[in-house]
Amino acid sequence: MGAGGNSMSQSATITIKQDVLHDFLVRIFRAAGCSAGNAELCAKGAVDADLHGHHIQGTDHIYSTVRELRAGRLNGQAKAKVTHETAAAARIDGDGGPGHVTGMTAARLAIKKAKEAGIAAVALIGGGDIFRLGYYAETMADAGVVGIIFTNTHPMRVHPAGGIDPLLGTNPIAFGFPVAGTSPIIVDLATSTSAIGYVRLASYTGAAIPAGIAIDCDGNPTTDAHKALNGALTPLGGHKGFALGLAVGLLSGPVIGAVLGERLKEALAEGTGERKRGHLFVAIDPGAFGVRDGAERTADYAAELKASRKSKATTEIVMPGERGHRKKMDYQRDGIPLARSIWDNTLKIANDLGVEPPKLS
């Protein structure tokens, strides 16, 4: 690419250096009402998603945070605080802050408590979407603890097994396991057949979505992204995904004092929904079980799996999170590729806020 951020080139992607994108997003979040520290955390979380190739939860999704900040439904000046605490547990009031701000506060507290008590559970209530759970799982694993994160999402997008109304979020769950000598194993998955972000991206261009991942508003299977957005996503594996999504929702909802379902929908309509959403962060220190070589044992088992016999169509057995780590290494060196549609949307957001786009080379 030549020229600047407003180039009219018709190329399908642009490539931008990590630090340039980070600075641009910081300036956008600052203009949208975030304090300097909160803007840094928002930008870091979004760029981390892009570095791992998960653009649907990176730069592509900053529009939602900016929208909620400008509408006053998120508090850009938020200072999350602990409102209830025991040796191994805590409840955090996110003060209505952006998800990357409140989520990292909860992850760091879970790490600290796990190293003191062996295992810790931190409930977070009151904040925005925390986006890619693998971000926090990786942070926790890098600190030497096993991380587990549960969250419920809105709008509700997933129908229960046997139903057609969207009554559950995509309700993802993530695990992070330290691995000696290499990147952590990161399991991060939605409990719907597909993440909603892929459907949203397809709707930008009118591309068909895979069969089986969604129904329209009348309950008919559809491959039309727009009909899917007005209908519902299917639960992962039918009744099994419904059960898992329900469990994740309960752990990040009623169990910790947050709201779900119609009560959450009503709170969102009243503009108080971001103050009532919940997330649960659990951290486990293997040392609490007298285990000092857990990361080494995990590395040995991962090596055994990777060395096992492969199908004819497979050249390599890849551990969860491994592809994302490889992309991160490549993108940090060569720059982050963003779809032209994502970049154009970001430029529109910046223009609305009076933020100058960076020059791209």
Predicted TM-score (pTM) of the model is 0.92
Task: Please tell me whether residues 99 and 130 are part of one structural domain.
Answer: yes
CB proximity list for 308: less than 8 A, separation 6 or greater: 317
pLDDT tens profile 334-351: 999 999 999 999 999 999
Which residues form the domain of 185?
A: 81-192+235-289
Domain at 162, CATH number: 3.30.1370.60
Q: Measured between alpha carbons, how far is 127 from 79 in angstroms, rounded to an integer?
A: 11
Given a cut of 90, whether residue 8 has pLDDT beyond it is no
Task: Evaluate whether residue 30 is within a structural domain.
Answer: yes
Task: Please tell me whether residues 102 and 246 are part of one structural domain.
Answer: yes
Pairing of strands 13-16, 146-151: unpaired
DSSP state of 104: H
Domain at 55, CATH number: 1.10.1530.10
Task: Evaluate whether residue 154 is within a structural domain.
Answer: yes
From residue 122, give the alpha-carbon distance in Å to each of 39, 100, 140, 267, 345: 23, 15, 13, 23, 35
Per-residue model confidence (pLDDT) at position 242? 97
- Please report the DSSP string for 183-230 in residue order: PPEEEEE-SBSS-HHHHHHHHHHTPBPPTTSEE-TTS-B--BHHHHHH
Q: Which of 251, 350, 353, 280 is nearest to 127 (CA)?
A: 280
Per-residue model confidence (pLDDT) at position 274? 67
Given a cut of 70, whether residue 272 has pLDDT beyond it is no
Per-residue model confidence (pLDDT) at position 67? 96
Question: Radius of gyration over alpha carbons of the chain, in Å?
Answer: 20
Q: CB–CB of 57/198 below 8 Å?
A: no
Task: Evaluate whether residue 310 is within a structural domain.
Answer: no
Task: Please tell me whether residues 30 and 90 are part of one structural domain.
Answer: no
| Number of domains forming the structure of the chain | 2
273 pLDDT band, cuts 50/70/90, is low
Task: Please tell me whether residues 127 and 266 are part of one structural domain.
Answer: yes
Task: Evaluate whether residue 330 is within a structural domain.
Answer: no
Task: Please tell me whether residues 163 and 240 are part of one structural domain.
Answer: yes
Task: Please tell me whether residues 17 and 134 are part of one structural domain.
Answer: no
Report the amino acid identity of residue 230.
N
The CA-CA-CA angle for residues 317, 318, 323, to 5°, reads: 150
Task: Please tell me whether residues 274 and 346 are part of one structural domain.
Answer: no
Per-residue model confidence (pLDDT) at position 7? 38
pLDDT tens profile 234-266: 999 999 999 999 999 999 999 999 999 888 878
Q: What percent of the chain has pLDDT over 90?
A: 86
Task: Evaluate whether residue 211 is within a structural domain.
Answer: no
Average pLDDT over residues 39-59: 96
Identify the residue with better confidence: 274 or 104.
104
Per-residue model confidence (pLDDT) at position 6? 38
Task: Please tell me whether residues 38 and 85 are part of one structural domain.
Answer: no
Per-residue model confidence (pLDDT) at position 360? 86
Q: Measured between alpha carbons, how far is 319 from 186 in angstroms, rounded to an integer?
A: 8
Task: Please tell me whether residues 157 and 54 are part of one structural domain.
Answer: no
Given a cut of 90, whether residue 110 has pLDDT beyond it is yes
Given a cut of 50, whether residue 2 has pLDDT beyond it is no
Average pLDDT over residues 102-116: 98
Average pLDDT over residues 177-205: 93
Q: How many CA atoms lie within 13 A of 205 on its CB side?
A: 12
